[in-house]
Structure 1
Amino acid sequence: MNYKYKKKKIKKKISDFSQGLKMAHKQNKAGTLDRAIPVNESLERALGACVKVYVTCVEPDYTQPWSVFLEEECTGSGFVVRLSEEKLVIVTNQHVVASATEIRLRKYGGVQKYRAMLALSAHTADLALLDVEDANFWKDMAPLKLGALPRLYENVVCLGFSFPGENACVTRGIVSRVDTMSYVRGAEELLVLQVDSAVNSGNSGGPALDDSGCVAGVAFSSYAGSADNIGYVIPTAIVHNVLNDYLSLLSTIHQAAKKKKKLRWAGLCNLGLGVQTCENPAFRKRKQMSLDQTGVCINRVARLGCGHAAGICVGDILLSIDSIAVANDGTVPLRNSERVGCEHLISSKRIGTQISLQILRDGIPLNLHVTLSPLPRLVPLCDGFDAAPSYVIIAGLVFMSLSAPLLSALSDDDDDDDDDDTENKVDLRYLADVLDADKADPETQIVVWTQIISHDVNHGYNGLCRRLPRLRALNGTPVINLAHLAFLAGFGSRKLKSNDTTPPQNEFLEFDFISATGCANTTVVVIDTKLALAAEKDILRRSKIPEPFSYDLGPLLRKYQLPLPKEEPEQPEEKTEQQPAPNHSTPDTTDQPPPDQPSDNKKTTKKNNRKKSRSRRNQNQNNNNNNNNNEESAHA
């Protein structure tokens, strides 16, 4: 009975299915079949707030800093959020609009591409805010709401415009991990969400939604290894901080518009401290830590950091941050049993926030209050933010300031580069300590010798710049930065002319180099100054280099040459005052006008000089007559 019953039931299902197919076939012929796939209403609203970003960019060439790469076009994603009651902005990734010369946006389901402008760039947070002046773009635009930090195993939906293709792409996954990482190599660590939904090329800048339709984060990266379906999302807490920073900067937007300056994001907060774990029992005993005390040992304090300003010293034990205990491995609790690095408690806060630190110094607990601020870096990290392809060329020697983009351009860790020019590549392993070095003075830069333009004047020095030697001094004067080097080379007081006969101040140009890591081994390069001046024009012409130094060094160069114009005009005036009065055979030049006097006063000065010369002639004639009369009377 059971077997016959199952058989009849299966036959009935097959007949129902066949009838459904016949009905669909009839509707298809009549044109009444609805082919649209049912979509969740919240998802449809979220897609309406997404835009596709079209970027035309021109990236600088750090290997040849006087030139740029060819113009390229790339695409990304973005979404609309509410900045204030009257203002909407578009959120995307900074790496999507990096080095952009033109930005255009296309709405979901639209055709027209609207021109956008970059409102704010948060480089180390990999976030950017865009704005559109055309009011038609904002019509029927419903902004997305920013949600909270999702929990593990919660669903997320990543929206974006992946490449290739023009339509929106929707991928679904779960939150597989919450951790900390640096969004930019060498930058501060921030919270990050790891999801198993695909984040393909073009999805960068798109929203990741939770089950309620709110934004859980911004998709910005995918795993570059062999694993599949691993993406990373920026949490909304970081987005909130960037939006609030932009609101605080909007108060100065009118002054910035008058000065034709863009709004500049200050950066992430950083205490400027280096830490060491306290997991060894002997180490904890040596630092006088009790059994119930946990923390990390501070082994580096940056001089320009806010931690140094608060009084933190090397050897102190950091016990807690805002009453949150720091474990011996440097982690802090996040939620329930999750733990992340303690650095995110600092980097996730806004500039000017005051926090409390509890430290242990010589066994005595101390409470310190710190006002958070960014940390100036000795080696800049991001092009257009704190790094630039500035250069100075002296006798064919090309000098640049050490930066992360320069190291990336000259490094040999690019797997896609299969050329044979490996001798000119730089190994980053021996420069790891330099990347984390602290800045002792705000104007200090690491000036390195990057390459040489071969010429007879620099013959024999070709192989000395392969490991980026650091320029320590020029003719015995320590070099502070690139602008100071240009000043020492005389670029601020002379012009490149073939008939320039001005004698150089020094017979030789003596460059003292040390290794980029600061080791004691030195290299000396000596070049004849007259030959360098004579060959400079030819060196620039052969390599099609417009100027011997980059244009952005001009304002900085004036800083070092300010006292020169004041001292030069005073010297001839003091000499003329000490000269004796002219005799009858030499004309008087003390009353002549200076060469920069206006031409309208030349006639009056000529008349006065003529009157004075006539009066002197009359006085001379009278003196001669008196002398003759005295001689005649004496003779009589």
Structure 2
Amino acid sequence: MMRHTLLASTGAVLAVILSIAPVGAPLGVAAALAQTPGFQGLPYDARRGVFTFAAGLDASLPAVVQVTTLGQSRGPSSAGEPKPAQGGSGVIIDAANGIIVTNNHVVENGQKFTVDMIDGRLFDAVLIGSDKATDIAVLKIEAKGLSQVETVDSDTLRTGDLAFAVGYPLGLDQTLTMGVISGLNRSGLGDAIEDYIQTDAAVNSGNSGGPLLDSRGRLIGINTSILSSGMGGGNDGIAFAVPTRIMMFVVDQLRASGEVKRGQIGVALGSLTAERARDLGLNIVRGAVVYDAAPGSPAEQAGLRPGDVITRIQNRPVANAGSVQATVGIARPGATLPVVYLRGGREATASMTVASSDPVAVRVGVSAGMARGLT
């Protein structure tokens, strides 16, 4: 199934490229076009006479590793090595220091971690730190001759860009699948800090923690979950990745201190629904409804009050409450966040200075599932 997905996607790309050449023109015409101004960069290997993305991806594939997490055995048979608990993928982002990024859920509750390289080498890894809210974890290995990926800003992505998922799915060796960026800024799937990249590149069990790459082999996200309609949890062409914008914020803090410190603005939010929009007299269904602002909080000081609908924060559109949580969740205390909101149908602006996070999440009395904890 994964092979069919890859071939179908590649075929679509080749159809577009070949359509550049006149009907009936030999393949050599397409090759010539690839060398002309305006068509430079087409993924064509003139020596072999094939279209390929291998040149852009070759340098990155050795940086993709398999991560095995071993959990502590329990009961009478607990003596000896921990037994394998779960596995996933990871990617080296700093070869000199052996730094690997993976998912928190790949390493969660693990007692020992091993990393398999594509060249056959096996290393023990040390967990530097993990962050459940973003599902990011950082491992470190001591090794020479490592490769690393180039990381780019995920905010430069556009829907329709090509994307490649790399990992070790379903017990297979390293596997590459191709698709497109299906959507950006996806959130509202849970209570985590979510601002996902959505892609239709085939992602399955074992891909977790592996990289999502652009067509030049550069890291744009970390594959973390899929949305599946089947009972078996198989691939349905809807996968999500943590963007590098969030990943690097978390990784930098984990490497510096082993933990992530976030700010907060002291506001309880709910996603704007069609029903709530009608109650507020609005003709939009994208935004975050303010349910409460804590006394003395940045939100209250900025003038926000119950019933306001936040539509933009830090110049980013707000689709739902998760959009605000994702922005605040990677804002450092002291940072200033510009906010655009609606009150009584009229647009207003404010600025909030992010405060240090409160260790206790506070919820307000609203319908279940409607409001998140104080952000």
Measure the CA separation in 2 of the matches of 1:346 and 1:187.
Answer: 12
Measure the CA separation in 2 of the matches of 1:364 and 1:229.
Answer: 38
Counterpart contact for 1:271–1:373, Cα < 8 Å: no
Per-residue deviation, 1:211? 0.9
- Residue 60 (structure 2) pairs with residue 46 (structure 1): yes
- Residue 338 (structure 2) pairs with residue 356 (structure 1): yes
- Residue 177 (structure 2) pairs with residue 171 (structure 1): yes
**Could you tell me which residue of structure 2 aligns to residue 371 of structure 1?**
354
**Could you tell me which residue of structure 2 aligns to residue 432 of structure 1?**
368
Structure with greater helix percent = 1
Measure the CA separation in 2 of the matches of 1:359 and 1:225.
Answer: 36
SS of corresponding position for 1:239: helix
Give the TM-score normalised by structure 2: 0.66
Measure the CA separation in 2 of the matches of 1:39 and 1:323.
Answer: 36
Counterpart contact for 1:318–1:357, Cα < 8 Å: no
Percent identity, aligned pairs only, is: 21
Residue among 269, 274, 284 paired with 1:274:
269
**Could you tell me which residue of structure 2 aligns to residue 238 of structure 1?**
246
Residues 229-281 of structure 1, C-alpha deviations (whole Å, 9 max, x = no match)? 322111111112113323543xxxxxxxxxxxxx3223575643325758449
Alignment of 1:191-230 (within 5 A): 191-226=195-230, 228-230=236-238
Measure the CA separation in 2 of the matches of 1:364 and 1:175.
Answer: 32
Per-residue deviation, 1:104? 0.9
Measure the CA separation in 2 of the matches of 1:208 and 1:325.
Answer: 22
Give the 3 Å change call, closer, same or farther, for CA 438–342 of structure 1 in structure 2. closer
Counterpart contact for 2:187–2:323, Cα < 8 Å: no
Give the 3 Å change call, closer, same or farther, for CA 268–102 of structure 1 in structure 2. farther
Give the 3 Å change call, closer, same or farther, for CA 115–175 of structure 1 in structure 2. same
Give the 3 Å change call, closer, same or farther, for CA 52–373 of structure 1 in structure 2. same
Per-residue deviation, 1:224? 2.7
Measure the CA separation in 2 of the matches of 1:80 and 1:53.
Answer: 11
SS of corresponding position for 1:211: coil
Per-residue deviation, 1:370? 1.9
Alignment of 1:84-483 (within 5 A): 87-111=97-121, 113-132=122-141, 134=142, 137=143, 139-149=144-154, 150-165=157-172, 167-181=173-187, 185-188=190-193, 190-226=194-230, 228-249=236-257, 263-267=258-262, 269=264, 271-275=266-270, 277=272, 279-280=277-278, 283=281, 298-302=290-294, 306-308=298-300, 310=301, 312=303, 314-315=305-306, 317=308, 321=312, 324=315, 331=319, 341-357=323-339, 367-378=350-361, 432=368, 436=372
Structure with greater strand percent = 2
Counterpart contact for 1:181–1:192, Cα < 8 Å: yes
Measure the CA separation in 1 of the matches of 2:65 and 2:280.
Answer: 58
Give the 3 Å change call, closer, same or farther, for CA 49–115 of structure 1 in structure 2. same
Give the 3 Å change call, closer, same or farther, for CA 242–366 of structure 1 in structure 2. closer
Gaps of 5+ in 1: 1-37, 61-69, 250-262, 285-290, 333-339, 381-429, 440-636
Counterpart contact for 1:322–1:356, Cα < 8 Å: yes
Per-residue deviation, 1:204? 0.7
Per-residue deviation, 1:87? 3.7
SS of corresponding position for 1:172: strand
Measure the CA separation in 1 of the matches of 2:263 and 2:98.
Answer: 24
Give the 3 Å change call, closer, same or farther, for CA 205–303 of structure 1 in structure 2. farther
Per-residue deviation, 1:57? 2.0
- How many positions carry a matched residue from both structures? 302
Counterpart contact for 2:63–2:149, Cα < 8 Å: yes
